[in-house]
């Protein structure tokens, strides 16, 4: 056998051995990648609830155009943005509760948009046509904590008016005690890094996009009229 043929055979044999060693590594990597993609496809994603009423159902307190833009543009954008950001960062979440417990370690985009989704899903349920005044256990809890419904409204309104810029006013239950507070931007009291904590039982959006078309810069008028559409039945469900 000449030298050239011998070298060809040796080179071919080495390539075969290396291939038999390397191939399983690539196969394993592909398998892991496929598994990760499969797991992410089944991971928790944020979603937008169906609006419980027509866009014009809360007039005159909240006008139809504001409701439509708020729900179909702002809220829908939060859903799209947070899910895209979770996929881009390869963040795997099982529940909303897990999101809140880890939010301090997530990106601003995920935190702001994820909070925006949850806050608005909550907010839509806090309203209905002809809301009236609280009764039963809600009225009792408010009266025993704040002295009267009027005093409660005054304190809650102060929290909403006192929130500089964009944010939310909240009534929360914390170890059975009702407390009023506010959070900036799309934060809420469930987040692990929130200075104000508790389980929300009532929330009010005081971002300008929630009221500016109808009320312009008169946040006080928006808040005053909002009391006419509060869904106290939903508040009662959340009161613990």
pLDDT for 209-225, tens place per residue?
A: 999 999 999 999 999 99
* Low pLDDT (below 70) residues in the chain: 1-42
Is 56 contained in some domain?
A: no
Structure confidence at residue 93 (pLDDT): 92
Is 45 contained in some domain?
A: no
Structure confidence at residue 8 (pLDDT): 39
95 phi/psi in degrees, rounded to 5: -150, 165
Is 199 contained in some domain?
A: yes
Is 22 contained in some domain?
A: no
Structure confidence at residue 27 (pLDDT): 26
Domain span at 216: 62-240
> What HEC string does the chain produce?
CCHHHHHHHHHHHHHHHHHHHHHHHHHHHHHHHHHHHHHHHCCCCCCCCCCCCCCCCCCCCCCHHHHHHHHHHHHHHHHHHHHHHHHHHCCCCCCHHHHHHHHHHCCHHHHHHHHHHHHHHHHHHCECCCCCCCCHHHHHHHHHHHCCHHHHHHHHHHHHHHCCCCEEEEEEEECCEEEEEEEECCCCCCCCCCCCCCEEEEEEECCHHHCHHHHCCCHHHHHHHHHHHECHHHHHHHCC
Is 25 contained in some domain?
A: no
Is 8 contained in some domain?
A: no
Tally of structural domains, the chain: 1
Is 54 contained in some domain?
A: no
> What is the domain-level CATH number for residue 66?
3.55.40.20
Structure confidence at residue 171 (pLDDT): 98
Structure confidence at residue 179 (pLDDT): 98
Is 135 contained in some domain?
A: yes
């Amino acid at each position: 056998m000449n030298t050239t043929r011998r070298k060809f055979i040796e080179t071919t044999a080495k390539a075969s051995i290396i291939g038999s060693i390397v191939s399983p590594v690539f196969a394993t990597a592909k398998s892991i990648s496929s598994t990760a993609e499969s797991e992410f496809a089944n991971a928790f994603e944020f979603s937008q609830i169906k609006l419980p009423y027509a866009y014009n159902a809360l007039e005159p307190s909240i006008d139809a155009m504001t409701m439509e833009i708020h729900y179909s543009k702002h809220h829908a954008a939060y859903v799209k943005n947070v899910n895209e950001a979770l996929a881009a960062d390869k963040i795997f979440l099982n529940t909303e509760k897990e999101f809140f417990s880890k939010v301090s370690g997530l990106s601003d985009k995920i935190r702001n948009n994820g909070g925006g989704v949850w806050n608005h899903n909550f907010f839509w349920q806090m309203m209905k046509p002809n809301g009236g005044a609280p009764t039963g256990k809600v009225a009792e809890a408010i009266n025993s904590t704040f002295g009267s419904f009027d005093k409660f409204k005054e304190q809650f309104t102060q929290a909403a008016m006192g929130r500089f810029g964009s944010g939310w006013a909240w009534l929360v239950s914390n170890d059975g005690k009702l407390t009023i507070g506010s959070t900036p931007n799309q934060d809420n009291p469930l987040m692990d890094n929130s200075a104000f904590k508790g389980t929300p039982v009532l929330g009010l959006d005081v971002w300008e996009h929630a009221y500016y078309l109808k009320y312009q810069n008169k946040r006080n008028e928006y808040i005053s009229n909002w009391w006419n559409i509060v869904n106290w039945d939903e508040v009662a469900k959340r009161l613990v």
